[in-house]
Chains A and B, each alone.
Chain A
């Protein structure tokens, strides 16, 4: 199975400041057949279901503010928040769907300072 390792496990951020979460995969998530990288990012706000933020490496889901950006290649990926807002607190997960079984990272808890 593909193992996704997220760092840091927790992150305390100051409103208005940038934040970055890393996701490292045990295998490349690049599909050479179609040139897509099958890595998604989800945010689970306190008491809520997860919501899709970024799909296929760098595409923002509908309604996601442009302060969220996904990047990376091969086995190393990053979610960057350019200016953190109070509503961005919660658990962030990366997920790969290149290979079955689909797997999630262990999560990064983002809290506000």
Chain B
């Protein structure tokens, strides 16, 4: 059974750097699959942010590419998202999700999300 859990600060100040950790179980990112990050501002739609594959291939959304870094630590079963220069518009619930099951790369299992507020 695959599970994922997001962790990180609930509150960050403008201009600070946000580091979010996705800790997962039930699969290994050393030999298959991928982990993605998706966010949802309050009352707004889902927005895909980044994806890291088992072979360390990384993909980012166009508008935030300069601010995002995604990494993985296979020994800890974690995927980490770093977002620099945080702004109040980055206030959102951030989800990580597994990709690569079902023989496809849809996001088949999601974490519960972690809410991040950007405010001074």
A: residues with CB less than 8 A from B are 1, 40, 42, 44, 49-52, 55-56, 59, 61-62, 93, 95, 97, 100-107
Chain A residues within an 8 Å CB radius of B36: 102
Which of B36, B108, B113 neighbours the largest number of chain A CB atoms within 10 Å of its CB? B108
Contact, CB under 8 Å: B45 / A49: no
Q: Please report the C-alpha to C-alpha distance between residue A93 and residue B48 in the assembled complex, in whole angstroms.
A: 12
* Residue among B61, B106, B109, B111 making CB contact with A101, cutoff 8 Å: B61
- Give residues of chain B (61-120) contacting chain A, Cβ–Cβ below 8 Å: 61-62, 95, 102, 104-113
**B46 interfacial contact with A, CB 8 Å:** yes
Chain B residues within an 8 Å CB radius of A100: 59
Q: Do A52 and B62 form a contact, CB below 8 Å, given A61-B102, A107-B45?
A: no
Chain B residues within an 8 Å CB radius of A103: 48
Q: Please report the C-alpha to C-alpha distance between residue A103 and residue B62 in the assembled complex, in whole angstroms.
A: 11
Interface size on B, residues (CB 8 A): 23
Chain B residues within an 8 Å CB radius of A93: 45-46
* Residue among A44, A51, A56, A102 making CB contact with B51, cutoff 8 Å: A102
Contact, CB under 8 Å: B110 / A50: yes
Contact, CB under 8 Å: A101 / B59: yes
Chain A residues within an 8 Å CB radius of B59: 100-102
**B32 interfacial contact with A, CB 8 Å:** no
Give, as a whole number of angstroms, the nearest-CB distance from B95 to chain A: 6
Q: Please report the C-alpha to C-alpha distance between residue A49 and residue B112 in the assembled complex, in whole angstroms.
A: 6
**Which 4 A-B residue pairs are closest in the complex by CB-CB distance?**
A55-B106, A102-B48, A49-B110, A101-B61
Contact, CB under 8 Å: A56 / B104: yes
- Give residues of chain B (47-62) contacting chain A, Cβ–Cβ below 8 Å: 47-48, 51, 59-62
Q: Please report the C-alpha to C-alpha distance between residue A100 and residue B65 in the assembled complex, in whole angstroms.
A: 12
Q: Please report the C-alpha to C-alpha distance between residue A62 and residue B104 in the assembled complex, in whole angstroms.
A: 13
Contact, CB under 8 Å: B110 / A104: no
Closest to A6 in B: B45
Closest to B36 in A: A102
